Amino acid sequence: QTEAPEFGKGLLNIVGKDSTWSMKLATRMQFLTSTTWDQNSNNKWVDPHSIALVRRARFKFDGFAYSPKLTYKIELGLSNRDMSGASEYTSNAPRYILDAVVMWNFYQNFELWIGQTKLPGNIDRVISSGNLQQVDRSLLNSRFTLDRETGLQIRHHFFLHNKFLIREKFAISQGEGRNVTNGNIGGAQFTGRLELLPFGEFTNGGEYKGGDLVHEEMPKLMLSATYDHNKDAVKTRSNQGTYMVNDIGFHKTDINTLFFDTMFKYRGFSFMGEYAHRNAKDPIAKNADGSLTGDIVQIGDGINLQSGYLFRKNWEVSGRYTNISLDEDITGNRPENQYTLGLSKYIVGHKLKIQTDLSYLSVNGGTDELMYRLQFDIHF
Amino acid sequence: QTEAPEFGKGLLNIVGKDSTWSMKLATRMQFLTSTTWDQNSNNKWVDPHSIALVRRARFKFDGFAYSPKLTYKIELGLSNRDMSGASEYTSNAPRYILDAVVMWNFYQNFELWIGQTKLPGNIDRVISSGNLQQVDRSLLNSRFTLDRETGLQIRHHFFLHNKFLIREKFAISQGEGRNVTNGNIGGAQFTGRLELLPFGEFTNGGEYKGGDLVHEEMPKLMLSATYDHNKDAVKTRSNQGTYMVNDIGFHKTDINTLFFDTMFKYRGFSFMGEYAHRNAKDPIAKNADGSLTGDIVQIGDGINLQSGYLFRKNWEVSGRYTNISLDEDITGNRPENQYTLGLSKYIVGHKLKIQTDLSYLSVNGGTDELMYRLQFDIHF
Amino acid sequence: QTEAPEFGKGLLNIVGKDSTWSMKLATRMQFLTSTTWDQNSNNKWVDPHSIALVRRARFKFDGFAYSPKLTYKIELGLSNRDMSGASEYTSNAPRYILDAVVMWNFYQNFELWIGQTKLPGNIDRVISSGNLQQVDRSLLNSRFTLDRETGLQIRHHFFLHNKFLIREKFAISQGEGRNVTNGNIGGAQFTGRLELLPFGEFTNGGEYKGGDLVHEEMPKLMLSATYDHNKDAVKTRSNQGTYMVNDIGFHKTDINTLFFDTMFKYRGFSFMGEYAHRNAKDPIAKNADGSLTGDIVQIGDGINLQSGYLFRKNWEVSGRYTNISLDEDITGNRPENQYTLGLSKYIVGHKLKIQTDLSYLSVNGGTDELMYRLQFDIHF
């Protein structure tokens, strides 16, 4: 049968005849306006650059098929920003499919995932873009994220002791990002992630949601680490960034990415912390004769610390500090510090909300930048 | 609950649990064949060029969310013509989203619109492409339309006296058209429209539908005017046309567009009239040193007069006269006159119809053109 | 009303109020991994090239509108491979729409089709990509298929004698493939197909499904022939391949394509055979002065023989032999033979299945190739 749930819980919940399958349909939109200013030599904010757009618009389908042990998820991106990134590597077609993955609970606490979906990477990325605490993810994410891949994942969890939950996630992927159609160019990518939840799962999966909207009665904590090895990677940010084309094809090198991250929530207070480190065997792309192509693997470190408190009537104030320290000798990029102050009004949780934030970006010896953003979210 | 309405009224009407939201899903398709001939020096029609295509294919979602005062509309274009126009300004992704807008009735007769949707421009554009009287819109529309924008709109209406309805619509937009992702380049665009309906609203919103399919018992009239000021516009037709790129970025100039339009319907008879005028502060695009880039703002005037009568069994005969007189000194374009004779068979109103028309285009001192079109429309 | 059928029979069956229309929604996904090896001069398999991708992801809508005699079908492709092929001829937009066709049973056994859909071409193509016996179609299909077109089709069937069913299908098309928006360049394309089913229709439309999954109790046979004449064709494989651009526009020549094909099924055994032949009036593309442009119409012959047997528990073993013999003098292409061994496990018929195959491609005097593929299919 077909059921229309309450606002924010999906458009339709369909259960097939004889309960042979189910599907939940959902959709969401984000409307963003943003203005940035550069700081000139007189410490004045100048050259405002503004933008207003449908930032994200998504359809999501999930449920089970044939057996409750066989579940699936499809997520489609409709906005121009969602679909951007068409290239010769994606058949010059828009990257419309975000997730298309089948998950099979083949044995006890083990799940096998097949298809395209997010890798078990840094927590800020794995949190859905509809459940963020601030308008958008941090600079750490844009520099270090592993985003989505096509391949296999094995996921397992068990209880170490009482409530102490441990999750293990492993992935083997192509290593060049999502929606690639021309095949694997470099080697494969291997990802492992370990999650420790000493006080058990957060309420309603809150370990992967921004802000403590449910006012956790008891302290909840997740400590996690991801290690990713991209063998013979051909892009400047492991499986992200640009292809390192050279005169004989591609510059290939092993790239490793490490994340430590944590989420803590208690009575409206939330804290999220991330540390990222990337290195590469040979970060400077070369042609066959050793001459440089100009591409550089973006190696270095990043820190992102974010915290918020949910006041009455679902107003939340949040702060974020992000430091990006790429290897200056290799990449030529100077250290950046960004400070963000955010304000959110959750009308119906993350499903209907208005978020605004102000960011100050300080670039060592470079041009500082101020950014103001206002975003409206609606999710069915 | 979920309800499947009768043909032409949508696919599904969904009302969420506890009436917390609603959604109506609809879809439609248009199949077009068209042939054009040029007139040669012997006054013979030669060089036929034909085309057959899925002209439009759309999904539409609308309803309310959380509160009946908060409504929304999403419209997606699926056909290649619907999605065309990908460029570096749209992340090189197809322009899949037509409308994505949230409307909030925040106070009495006031509505705030946020997102991307049609500007309150000329009537022929605002009429849905599924509700047109002839196969497609006029040349006036293709030369002067303001189409869609991202931004804000404020809409208000009141009754001056008895049935005399007045509507006021204001918009602030980016000013470069729909689905732009790289931000606002020039200044902002400001649009105001006033609509006078001395005998009240048309039946079933007929002021924005082609033809008098409901046989209005009493005369109905709308008189309206739109004024649009695009400050520091960077495209050749205000927020439409091509970007006026020059050696230091973009040629920027203020562009004003004015429309007067009217709709009248009475007992099967309908008349639609439009006048358009566009001017620009500096219509000739230049580089920094004053040399010309070749781009010209399409300034000038247009008139479109269209009328039809609905016979028995829902056959309609319609005629259209369009005159385009761009400023010949500036744009180099000669005046054009187009005469169109249309025939429509409305099987289920605009929802299932066949339309055909024959157009004769007379270009002063240029090549005349004959065009025959046949279109089939189906809307769920 | 709205009904959710059992797994594999669609997502929703909607019947409009007063039974004025119906719509069946369905979706499906295919996940493919594939690895190919080249044979080097020492007869070793080297240079493995692998790929993992969402091969196909589709939405399908069909039903009737207004009258049960007026039916329609829409199929959309979501994956990058589905949408690929954007060009200046398709408004540089992705080819998102696969089918958009309206079918009108206007008189007795006659149907008129309007829109874009598959031509009545070779059987392997007309079988849905979700109902194939092996992982993908043969080389004959990739070289000779007529795929989809925009235009008209007339379809008729009658019983010659008792169960002996005869179907006739005629099509007039633009002749340049699907999703073309810039109009007809060459002349029109004419297609005729005759199908003889001496023992009547196969169970559940099995003449256009791979494998004998229903274990036909009585032998079932279809013998068919297609003749296609593409007048003034401008692409290298009739309406497929690349445009033959020359210095004055396009090289135009008449291209004929002939298919004979057959399907036989009996008690789990199935056999499909196809023969293809293509010729052209002037297969070598030239400029106005007679100099060669480099484009060549791919003329020649192809044979595809495929057979399978369905064992207990819905395991099927299948074999395929394909020979492609293009005209070597004209095209410069050497004959190719491909041998494929396939294994399928149909968990819920074609709706939930795993298929794998191993192909050996032997190129006369060229590099031989080995290909291993594994595919998972899920259809709602």
Residues A225-263: tens digit of each pLDDT: 999 999 999 999 999 999 999 999 999 999 999 999 999
pLDDT tens sequence across B203-223: 999 999 999 999 999 999 999
> How many domains is chain B partitioned into structurally?
1
Establish if A11 belongs to a structural domain: no
- Residues from chain B that touch C181, judged by Cβ atoms under 8 A, are 51, 53, 80-81, 84
pLDDT value of position A186: 84
pLDDT, tens digit (0-9, with 9 covering 90-100), for A42-74? 889 999 999 999 999 999 999 999 999 999 999
Q: Which of A46, A106, A97 is nearest to A73 (CA)?
A: A97
Report pLDDT digits (tens) over B143-183: 999 999 999 999 999 999 889 999 999 999 999 999 999 98
The proportion of chain C whose per-residue pLDDT surpasses 90, expressed as a percent, equals 96
Q: Give the residue-averaged pLDDT of C365-380.
A: 95
- Given CA atoms A71, A77, A81, A84 in this order, what sign does their dihedral have? positive
Nearest to C93 among B4, B11, B84 (CB): B84
C142-165: pLDDT as tens digits: 999 999 999 999 999 999 988 999
* Per-residue exposure over A288-327, b if at least 16 CB sit within 10 Å of its own CB, e if not: eeeeeeebbbbbbbbbbbbbbebeeebebebebebbbbbb
pLDDT interval class at C206 (50, 70, 90)? very high
A241 domain residue, yes or no:
yes
Q: Is residue C291 part of a domain?
A: yes
Is A84 within 8 Å of B92 when comparing Cβ atoms? Answer: yes
- pLDDT at residue C193 tops 90: yes
Rg (CA), chain A: 21
Q: Are C363 and C324 in contact (CB under 8 A)?
A: no
Assess if residue C204 is contained within a domain.
yes
* ipTM over cut 0.85: yes
Whether A82 is in a domain gets the answer no
Q: Is the pLDDT of residue C1 over 90?
A: no
- Condensed to tens digits (0 to 9), the pLDDT of residues B4-59 reads 999 999 999 999 999 999 999 999 999 999 999 999 988 899 999 999 999 999 99
If pLDDT is split at 50, 70 and 90, which confidence band does C186 have? Answer: confident
Residue A201 in any domain: the answer is yes
Residue C70 lies in a domain: no
The answer to whether the CB atoms of A51 and B18 lie below 8 A apart is no
- CATH number of the domain that residue A206 is part of: 2.40.160.10
Within 8 A of C53 by CB-CB distance, chain A residues are 116, 150, 180-181
Neighbouring-strand partners of residue C37: C370
What value does the mean pLDDT of chain B take?
96
CA distance A249 to chain B (A): 25
Using alpha carbons, list the distances in angstroms from residue A186 to A175, A282, B32, C48. Answer: 8, 14, 46, 11
Dihedrals phi, psi of C146, to nearest 5 degrees: -100, -10
Measured CB to CB, residues of chain C less than 8 Å from chain A are 2-7, 9, 11-12, 27, 29, 31, 34, 49-54, 57, 78-86, 94, 347-348, 352, 376, 378, 380
Q: How far is CA A192 from the centre of its chain?
A: 16
Cβ neighbours of residue B23 closer than 8 Å, sequence gap 6 or more:
A11, A380, B12, B13, B14, B61, B62, B63
> Nearest CB to C80: which of A61, A174, A179?
A179
Is the pLDDT at C365 greater than 90? The verdict is no
Helix (H, G, I), strand (E, B) or coil at B101: strand
Using beta carbons and an 8 Å cutoff, which residues of B are at the interface with A?
1-2, 14-18, 20-21, 23, 61, 65-66, 72, 74, 76, 90-97, 100, 102, 114-116, 150-151, 174, 179-184
B–C: how many Cβ contacts below 8 A?
A: 109
pLDDT by residue, tens only, chain A of 380 residues: 889 999 999 999 999 999 999 999 999 999 999 999 999 988 899 999 999 999 999 999 999 999 999 999 999 999 999 999 999 999 999 999 999 999 999 999 999 999 999 999 999 999 999 999 999 999 999 999 999 999 999 999 999 988 999 999 999 999 999 999 998 998 899 999 999 999 999 999 999 999 999 999 999 999 999 999 999 999 999 999 999 999 999 999 999 999 999 999 999 999 999 999 999 999 999 999 999 999 999 999 999 999 999 999 999 999 999 999 999 999 999 999 999 999 999 999 999 999 999 999 999 888 999 999 999 999 99
Contacts of C347 in chain A (CB under 8 A): 66
pLDDT for B237: 98
Chain A residues within an 8 Å CB radius of C9: 17
Q: Which residue from A112, A121, A78, A72 is spatially nearest to A98, judged by alpha carbons? A: A78
User: Of the ranges A189-193, C40-44, C136-140, which one carries the lowest mean pLDDT score?
Assistant: C40-44
Say how many Å lie between the first and final Cα of chain A, rounded: 19
How many whole angstroms from its chain centre is CA B86?
Answer: 20
CA distances from A200 to A43, A109, A203, B89, C151 (A): 49, 16, 9, 47, 61
* C235-261 tens-digit pLDDT: 999 999 999 999 999 999 999 999 999
Which residue in B3, B6, B53 is closest to C181 by CB distance? Answer: B53
Closest Cα in chain C to A25: C11
Please, are residues C61 and A101 in contact by the beta-carbon 8 Å criterion? no
Residue B186 has pLDDT above 90, yes or no: no
- On whether the CB atoms of residues C286 and C292 are closer than 8 A, the answer is yes
Has residue A109 been placed in a domain? yes
Q: What domain range is C181 assigned to?
A: 30-54+107-379
pLDDT band at B365 (very low <50, low <70, confident <90, very high): confident
Give the residue from C54, C87, C354, C376 with the most A CB atoms within 10 Å of its CB, the best one to mutate.
C54
The total number of residues written for chain B in this structure: 380
Q: Which residues contact A205 (CB under 8 A, 6 or more apart)?
A: none
Closest Cβ–Cβ partner in B1, B95, B114 for A4: B1
Q: What is the pLDDT of residue C314?
A: 97
**Nearest CB partner across the interface for A12, out of B2, B18, B94:** B2
The C-alpha atoms of residue C243 and residue C241 are separated, in whole angstroms, by 7
Q: Tell me, what's the pLDDT at B108? A: 97
Q: Stretch B229-250: mean pLDDT, rounded?
A: 97
Q: Residue C351's pLDDT is what? A: 97
Q: Which residues contact B72 (CB under 8 A, 6 or more apart)?
A: A29, A378, B61, B62, B63, B64, B65, B101, B102, B103
* Cβ contact A214:A206 at 8 Å: yes
pLDDT at A121: 97
Across the interface, of B4, B27, B81, the residue whose CB is closest to C15 is B4
User: Which pLDDT does position C251 carry in this prediction?
Assistant: 97
Are B7 and C23 in contact (CB < 8 Å)? no
DSSP for A113-131, written as a single string:
EEEEEE-S--HHHHS-TTS
Binding partners of C (≥3 Cβ pairs within 8 A): A, B
Chains in touch with B (3+ beta-carbon pairs under 8 Å) read: A, C
